[in-house]
Amino acid sequence: MNVWLAIAVTAAGCYLIKLLGLAVPAGALERPVVRRLAALLPVALLAALTALQTFEGAGGSLTVDARAAGLAAAAGALLLRAPFLAVIGAAVVVTAGVRALGG
């Protein structure tokens, strides 16, 4: 498949998805279930992406390495109600430290 054809099909698909979102009636978006889903869905997707990027190894196997230690440090900082930059900093420092120690 030509690369430019793939780009054009992807762009058209993205445009159609956006257009579909605009075509939804406003009344359907005001329902309490839809509002709750719209609030919780990004959190669930981000959690799934974080878990996938942290624990998936080569070939789809489960891998526990320095990334898991960084995630644990971030979770601990969150439990201590640290500011967002401190949470990220803790994850980075712990991940780098474990990697430097050979983990």
The contacts of residue 63 (CB under 8 Å, 6+ apart) are 55, 56, 57
Distance separating the N- and C-terminal Cα atoms of the chain: 41
The contacts of residue 46 (CB under 8 Å, 6+ apart) are none
Q: Are 62 and 56 in contact (CB under 8 A)?
A: yes
Per-residue pLDDT of the chain (103 residues), as tens digits, is 689 999 999 999 999 999 998 898 888 888 999 999 989 999 999 999 988 888 887 777 888 889 999 999 999 999 999 999 999 999 999 999 999 998 6
State the pLDDT at residue 11.
97
CA dist 64 and 56 (Å) reads 8
Q: CB 78: neighbour CB atoms within 10 A?
A: 13
State the pLDDT at residue 67.
92
